[in-house]
Amino acid sequence: MTIVIGLTGGIASGKSTISSMLQEKGIRVVDADHIARVVVEVGEPAYNQIVEEFGIEILKEDKTINREKLGTIIFSDENKRQTLNSIVHPAVRKEMLKQVEEEKNKQSNAVVLDIPLLFESKLTHIVDKTLLVYVDQETQMKRLMKRNGYNEEEAKMRMDSQLPLYEKRELSDYIIDNNGSIESTKKQLNDLLEKIL
Ligand SMILES: CC(C)(COP(=O)(O)OP(=O)(O)OC[C@H]1O[C@@H](n2cnc3c(N)ncnc32)[C@H](O)[C@@H]1O)[C@@H](O)C(=O)NCCC(=O)NCCS
Ligand SMILES: Nc1ncnc2c1ncn2[C@@H]1O[C@H](COP(=O)(O)OP(=O)(O)OP(=O)(O)O)[C@@H](O)[C@H]1O
């Protein structure tokens, strides 16, 4: 039996950091953010729909989507965010399920789905267990501003577009506290894997 683990958190809470640790252990991670980039490549159905909805102003000279520009639009307008979600999410879900099937066919012990919006998009039914990477809001804000070079307002808008992590805590089967050092996070992950695999 392959256990399907939904890895979630908030923006800049540490999902990619934990994904890398999982991959180092040979566990397959299906990354929703990565798939969401692939399904909007030039000429893909979702790309065409995005251009139709948001106009050619959101394209760069080489016709690829200007992600910074689209992000500024959708993180400050909930309706537009929902429009983008309704275009991108079905294609992401389909590809993720395909990759999970591949892993099940290989009879792997586990496959991890890294999905930032696991709870918001009501996708918990596609996983067996949910694992939250938790940080407090201050740490999340600091790390997001530092990593992306956002000012406080830009960081806050992005955080506010997601369910707060203290609410996700209540919904999760397992929690890794990523406020401390990378070493402490790694230890929590190793202890958890020992328990569930
Ligand atoms: C708006 C876009 C173009 C901005 O691209 P950018 O390269 O700046 O950010 P990236 O894709 O790396 O996302 C960074 C983080 O933002 C958060 N985020 C992204 N999209 C959303 C959204 N629709 N709602 C809430 N948070 C989101 C996630 O935590 C994600 O990990 C892009 O995020 C996008 O296409 N979003 C819609 C698809 C989506 O929901 N992706 C998230 C998982 S499926
Ligand atoms: N324990 C830690 N100590 C210090 N910095 C950390 C720690 N964990 C993660 N970081 C840093 O915080 C930032 C966010 O981490 P990461 O990219 O793993 O988050 P994420 O949840 O994958 O983000 P996103 O939702 O945007 O994809 C990165 O710059 C990362 O290097």
Has 15 been labeled as part of a binding site? Answer: yes
In this predicted structure, what is the pLDDT of residue 115? 98
With a 6 Å cutoff on the Cβ, whether 84 touches ligand 1 is: yes
Residue 73: CB partners within 8 Å, gap ≥ 6? 54, 58, 80
Share of the chain above pLDDT 90, in %: 99
Share of the chain above pLDDT 70, in %: 100
Sign of torsion, CA 189 2 33 64? positive
Average confidence (pLDDT) over 91-101: 98
Q: Which amino acid is at 80?
A: K
Nearest Cα residue to atom 7 of ligand 2: 182
- The count of other CB atoms within 10 Å of the CB of residue 35 is 21
With a 6 Å cutoff on the Cβ, whether 179 touches ligand 1 is: no
Residue-wise pLDDT for 60-87, tens only, equals 999 999 999 999 999 999 999 999 999 9
Average confidence (pLDDT) over 126-148: 98
d(CA 82, CA 193): 35
With a 6 Å cutoff on the Cβ, whether 116 touches ligand 1 is: yes
Nearest Cα residue to atom 29 of ligand 2: 147
d(CA 183, CA 150): 27
Distance 74 CA to ligand 1 centre (A): 9
Distance 5 CA to ligand 1 centre (A): 21
Has 12 been labeled as part of a binding site? Answer: yes
In this predicted structure, what is the pLDDT of residue 181? 98
Confidence of residue 15 (pLDDT cuts 50, 70, 90): very high
Confidence of residue 175 (pLDDT cuts 50, 70, 90): very high
| Domain, as residue range, for 187 | 3-196
Q: What is the mean pLDDT of the chain?
A: 98
Has 26 been labeled as part of a binding site? Answer: no
CATH classification of the domain holding 189: 3.40.50.300
- Split into its structural domains, the chain has a count of 1
- The count of other CB atoms within 10 Å of the CB of residue 150 is 17
d(CA 84, CA 112): 25
Residue-wise pLDDT for 111-128, tens only, equals 999 999 999 999 999 999
8, 11, 16: which to mutate for ligand 2, most atoms within 8 A of CB? Answer: 16
Q: Which amino acid is at 186?
A: K
